[in-house]
Amino acid sequence: MARRPLKTPVPTQKKPTRAASSSGKGWIAALILIALGGGGYYGYDQYQKSEQERLAREAARRARIEAEKRKAEEERLAAEKAERERLAAEEAERRRLEAEEEERRRKEAERLRKLRESQKSDDPPLPEPKDTDEPEPTPEPVEKEPSIYDKELPMHGADANSISSRKQFDALIDNLLEKRDFSDFERAMSEKIKESIPNYAGNGKLNYAQYKNNRNLMQAVDLCLLIRMAGANELSKLAAMEGGDNDNGGADFLRWAIRDKSRPLHLFMQSFASQEGRPENAAHSLNLFYTIWSETPAKERVKYLNLAVAGSLMNPDVCNSRGSIRDASATILTVPEVCAYLREMDGKRKLVTDIKKLSVSQLMHVVNVRLPQSEIDWAAENVNYTQAKWGEAYGSIRYLMERATNNKDPYKLYTFEEIKREGGVCRDQGYFSCNTGKCRGVPAVYIVGDGDRGPHAWMVNLTDATTWVQTNSYGYNSGRFTNPCSGRSQHESVLLSRSAKNTDAKLVPASDAMILANYLVRIDCIKEAHGTARYVTEAFPEETAAWANYIKVLGHSEKHLPPVSVWRKIDTDLIRMSRKNSELLDLAGEVEEKYLLAGKNAASKQAAMNRSISQLSRRGGDDRADLVLSAVDRQATVMAEAGNYRGLANLYSKQLKKYTKRGDIFGQLLRQYMGHLGEEATQRDWNTLARSTEKLFEKHMMSNGGDFFKLKKEVEIQNMIADAWDKAGNSRKAEKLRESAAERLKKGQQQHGGSED
C-alpha cells in the first residue's frame, strides 16, 4: 500500500517590500491560496506543449507499430503469394516436361513402327518400345549432411540436466559463436523445443517447477526468442565485434551472458519481458548491454549486473534525449557513462543508496537521467538528503509565483544551481528533486497530471527497499509517467502499488513464463503458448504485465485467435481484478475495442461502450477518470465515423454535466467533443456544443477568481467555448467571451503576480 505523501515544509516567507506589492491583501490572499495546497500550476502552455509532444510520440509509436504490423502482414501475404506462384510454376513446368516426354515417346514409337514396316522378313525384330505410362527412374536424393545442431540433445526427461547434456549444449554454444550461424541454431532448437514442450506445458497449463529446473531448455528458449526479436544478422554482427582494452569482443560477451553462473542473458530477457520491452528494440538493448559490459571491469560485472541490465533496457528515445539543459554545447552523458559514474561513486560510498541492492526495475529510474557531468557533480556536492527524506528536495526550491502567473523565465541554462537560486514552480521543483535524486542513486520518477486547479508536476520516489511514495501531489490522482523501457505512458499507481509482495525476485516465475509463451507462439505451438500465458495471469492476477502479455500472445496470430467467449472472460476478469489494480481497466478497454466489438454494427458498439463507461465510472471513480475519458473517446469515435452528431451531443452532454466540479476532466471532454465534430459538422452542431457548454460553465464552474490556478483553468475553458462559437458562425459571441476571459486573467495576475510562496 502506498504511503501518504510526505509533508514537505513550506519555505520561510520573505516579507514583501512596498515596491514588491502594492496590495497587502492580494499578497495575503495568494499566500493563503498556496498554503492550502495550491501552487501547483506550472504553466499551462508548457504543460500543454509537453502533453502534446507526449501524445504525438504515442501516436507516432502506435502508427509505427501499426505500420510494422501492416508491413509484416504484407510481407507474409507476399511470401504466401510467392510460394503459391512458385508451386504453380513448378506444377506447370512438371506438366510441360511430362508433355514433352510424352511427345518424345510417341515420336519414338512412331519411328520404330515405320522401321518395322520397312524391314525385310529375315531382319531381326526391333526392340519393343517401353510402356509410355511407366515413369522414368528417379535418381536417389543426395542427403544433406545434418547440422551439428540437429544432433540429438536431451531437452526433457532424466537426461536433460545431466552433466553430459549440459556439456553438449555448451559445445553447441561455442560452435554457434565461432560459426555465427544463428539462423541454423534457432531452426534446429525450435524443433527440439516443439518436441519437448508438451512435457511442461501440456493440457493448457505450465508445470513451472519442472520447467525452471531444465537449464538447457530455458537457455535455448532465451536465445531463440532473442534471435527472433533482434535478428540473426544483428547477433552475428555482435558476435563478430572485436574487443577493446577491457574485453575480448562480442563473442566473449555472448558466451559470458549465456554461460555465466549469474545467468546474465536470462536476467536480461526476464527484465525485457516484465518491463514490456518492444521486440523492435531488442537489438538496440542487447548492443547497449554489450557496451556497458565492455566498459565494466571484469571483477565488477556480476556485482553490478542489475545496473547493467537496467541501463540496457533504456529505449532509443531515452538514449537520444538531451534532457532539459539549454546549453546546446553541453555533452550529455550516455547511458553507459551514467552507469560507469554510478559504479565509481558507489565504490567510493558517495551515493545515498547501495545500488548493488536495487532491483532492475528500480534502477531503471536512476540510469535514465539525462545530464552533463557538471550537473551530476553539482548534485553530489550540494544536495544531500537521506533516501527516506529525499522528498524534502522538492520543497527546498522556493516557489516563484510570478513564474506561474506571468510565465516568468529566470533561467539562462536551466541548471540545478539556477533553479536553487531563482526558485521555480512545481515543474522546476519536480525536475530538481527527481534528477538530483537520480544523481545520488535514488530511484525517482517525474509525474505530471492535470486537476481542477490546472496542470501540476510532482515526484514519486523510493524511500526504502520496496516502498514508493508521492511527494507534493496535493491530492492529484491523474499522475502519469513514461516507462523508460517500453515508452508507454503509465499511471503512477503502477509504482505506488509496488511492495515486498511483488518485487522483481517474486515475479521471476511470471517473467520466465512470459518469455516461454512469447517464443512458443512464434513457432506455432499455439495451445502451449496460450496455456503458458494464462498460467501467468492465474499465478499473478494483479500484475499488469501478466495480462498485457496474455492479450498479446492470444492476439499474435489472426489465424489462431480464440473465440469471443475467451475474450469475454478476460474482459470480466480484468474488471474484477481492477479493484486491486486500476491499470487493468485500461487493458479491459483494449480487449473490448479490438476483440469484443470488432465487426459489430455501430448500435451494438455504442450499447457495449455505454456499459463500459458505467463500469469504469463505478470501478475507477474520480481516481481514474482518465479511463472514463478514454472510453468516452472510443465511443465518440464510433459515432463520429457514422456521422451521428446527435449521439455525440447526448454523450458529451451527459459526461460534461457529471464533471462540472472537475475542471481538468471537463476541459478534456470538451476538447474531445470539439475534435470529433471536426470539419464535417454543421454550424448547427457547433451551436449546440457552444450553447450547452457555456450554460454549464457559467452555472457550475465559473468562480470569482480568488484561486488563481483555478482561474487559469476556467480561462482555458472559456477560450475553448469561444472557439466553438466561432465554428458556429457567431464571431461576436466568441470575441465577447475572449475579452471576458482576458480581463479575468489580467485581474488574477495583478492580484497574485507579486506574491511568492
Asked if residue 203 is part of any domain, the answer here is: no
Q: Report which of 495, 448, 491, 487 is spatially closest to residue 627, judged by C-alpha positions.
A: 491
Question: Is residue 604 included in any domain, yes or no?
Answer: no
Bridge-based pairing of strands 468-471 and 480-482 is unpaired
Lowest model confidence (mean pLDDT) among 32-46, 155-169, 215-229, 538-552: 32-46
- The two most distant CA atoms of the chain are separated, in Å, by 144
Whether the per-residue pLDDT at 584 is higher than 70: the answer is yes
Q: Bridge-partner residues for 332, per DSSP? A: 372
Distance CA 82, CA 103 (A): 31
Name residue 469's beta-bridge partners.
3, 461
Task: Assess if residue 473 is contained within a domain.
Answer: yes
* 696: nearest Cα among 681, 715, 718, 678: 718
Do 674 and 720 form a contact (C-beta atoms < 8 A)? yes
- C-alpha cell recorded at residue 584: 487493468
Residues 133-152: pLDDT tens digits? 455 555 555 555 678 898 88
* Number of Cβ within a 10 Å radius of residue 732: 9
Confidence of residue 14 (pLDDT cuts 50, 70, 90): very low
In a domain, 279, yes or no: no
What's the rounded Cα separation, in Å, for the pair 751 and 747?
Answer: 6
Contacts (Cβ under 8 Å, ≥6 apart) of 78: none
**Is 741 part of any domain?**
yes
Q: Residue 444: what are its φ and ψ, rounded to 5°?
A: -145, 145
Q: Give the number of domains in the chain.
A: 2
Q: Are 444 and 434 in contact (CB under 8 A)?
A: yes
| Mean pLDDT of the residues in the chain | 84
Q: Which of 15, 277, 382 is nearest to 289 (CA)?
A: 277
Residue 91 DSSP label: H
Please tell me whether residue 4 adopts helix, strand or coil conformation. strand
Order of all β-strands in the sheet with 454-462: 3-6, 468-471, 454-462, 444-451, 480-482, 489-491
For helices 544-554 and 526-539, give the axis angle rounded to 10 degrees.
160
Is the pLDDT assigned to residue 377 strictly greater than 70? yes
Between 76 and 742, whose confidence is greater?
742
Reduce the DSSP state of residue 424 to 3 states and report it: strand
The residue-averaged pLDDT of 358-373 equals: 97
pLDDT band at 21 (very low <50, low <70, confident <90, very high): very low
In single-letter form, the type of residue at position 478 comes to: S
3-state DSSP call for residue 576? helix
Q: By C-alpha distance, which of 620, 621, 613, 734 is closest to 672?
A: 613
**Closest to 641 in 3D by CA, of 596, 688, 609:** 609
> Which letter does DSSP use for residue 463 in this model?
-
How many whole angstroms separate alpha carbon 495 and alpha carbon 481? 10
Domain end, chosen from 456, 484, 512, is at: 484
Q: For 316-329, write each residue's pLDDT tens digit.
A: 999 999 999 999 99
pLDDT of residue 305: 98
Task: Reply yes or no on whether the pLDDT at 615 is more than 70.
Answer: no
CA distances 643 to 323, 453, 655, 725, Å, are 43, 35, 20, 21
Query: From its phi and psi, is residue 135 left (phi > 0), alpha (psi between -120 and 50) or beta?
Result: beta
pLDDT category at 92 given cuts 50, 70, 90 is: confident
Look at residues 484, 510, 526 and tell me which one is the last residue of a structural domain. Answer: 484
> CA 297, CA 285: separation in Å to the nearest integer?
20
Tell me the HSE value of 16 on the side-chain side, using a 13 A CA sphere.
Answer: 20
**Is there a domain that residue 593 lies in?**
no
Going by C-beta distance under 8 Å and a sequence separation of 6 or more, which residues neighbour residue 726? 734
Question: Is 70 exceeded by the pLDDT of residue 476?
Answer: yes
DSSP symbols for 649-674 = HHHHHHHHHHTTT-HHHHHHHHHHHH
Confidence label for 593 from pLDDT (cuts 50, 70 and 90): confident
What count of Cα atoms within 13 Å lies in the side-chain half-sphere of residue 317? Answer: 15
Q: Is the pLDDT of residue 11 over 50?
A: no
Q: Is residue 177 part of a domain?
A: no
231: left (phi over 0), alpha (psi -120 to 50) or beta: left
User: Does 62 score more than 90 pLDDT?
Assistant: no
- Confidence band for 131, pLDDT divided at 50, 70 and 90: very low
β-bridge partners, 460? 445, 470
Residues spanned by the domain of 663: 643-757
Q: How far, in Å, CA of 662 to CA of 670, rounded?
A: 12
Whether 473 and 447 have beta carbons less than 8 Å apart is answered as yes
- Which residue's C-alpha cell is 470569482? 704
Range with the largest mean pLDDT of 150-164, 188-202, 323-337, 396-410: 323-337
3-state SS, residue 485 = coil
CB 211 within 8 A of CB 516: yes
pLDDT over 60 (residue 22): no
Element (H, E) at 480: strand 480-482
Instruction: Put residue 464 in one of left, alpha, beta given phi > 0 → left and psi -120 to 50 → alpha.
Output: beta
Cβ atoms within 10 Å of 687's Cβ, excluding its own: 17
How does pLDDT run across 285-310, given as a tens digit for each residue?
999 999 999 999 999 999 999 999 99
The Cα 649–Cα 690 span in angstroms is 11
- At 645, the amino acid letter reads Y
* Beta carbons of 37 and 7 less than 8 angstroms apart: no
Domain boundary among 484, 513, 539: 484
Measured between alpha carbons, how far is 486 from 277 in angstroms, rounded to an integer?
5
Q: Kindly state the cell numbers that stand for 333.
A: 552523458
User: Could you give the 3-state DSSP secondary structure of residue 181?
Assistant: coil
CATH of the domain at 367: 3.10.620
Around Cβ 445, how many Cβ atoms within 10 Å?
26
Using CA atoms, how far apart are residues 551 and 596, in angstroms rounded to an integer? 13
Grid coordinates of 483: 516507462
Q: Which helix (H) or strand (E) holds 360?
A: helix 360-367
157: left (phi over 0), alpha (psi -120 to 50) or beta: left
Q: CA–CA separation, 78 vs 396, rounded Å? A: 61
On whether residue 405 sits in a domain, the answer given is: yes
SS (H, E, C) 15-75: CCCCCCCCCHHHHHHHHHHHHCCCCCCCCHHHHHHHHHHHHHHHHHHHHHHHHHHHHHHHH
Q: 3-state class of 635 per DSSP?
A: helix
Residues facing 448 on adjacent strands: 457, 480
Residue type, 239: A
Share of the chain above pLDDT 70, in %: 80
Q: Highest mean pLDDT: which of 337-351, 560-574, 703-717?
A: 337-351
